[in-house]
Amino acid sequence: MICGESVAAGITALAAAIAQNRSAEEIGVLGVLFTQLGDTLESISVFRAKQEQCAKTADE
C-alpha cells in the first residue's frame, strides 16, 4: 500500500526538481497546467466509475 507521507514527500521532491533553473513565470505556467491535468483526470475517473456502476446495475 502507498503511504500518504511518502507520496507527499515524493511530489515535493519532484516539484523542486521541475522548478530548478526555471523562472517564476515558467513555474506558474507549469503549475496551472498540472492543476488542469489533475482536475481533468479526476473528472474522467468519476465519470468512468459512474458508467461502470450503471453498466453493472444494467447487467443485474
Global pTM reads 0.74
Residue 1 has pLDDT above 70, yes or no: no
Place of cell 496551472: 32
pLDDT of residue 2: 76
* CA separation, residue 2 to residues 12, 25, 40, 43, 45 (Å): 16, 33, 23, 22, 19
Amino acid at 50: K
pLDDT of residue 56: 85
The ranges assigned to domains in the chain are: 23-60
Q: In whole angstroms, what is the distance from residue 34 CA to residue 42 CA? A: 12
**Taking all residues of the chain, what is their mean pLDDT, rounded to a whole number?**
94
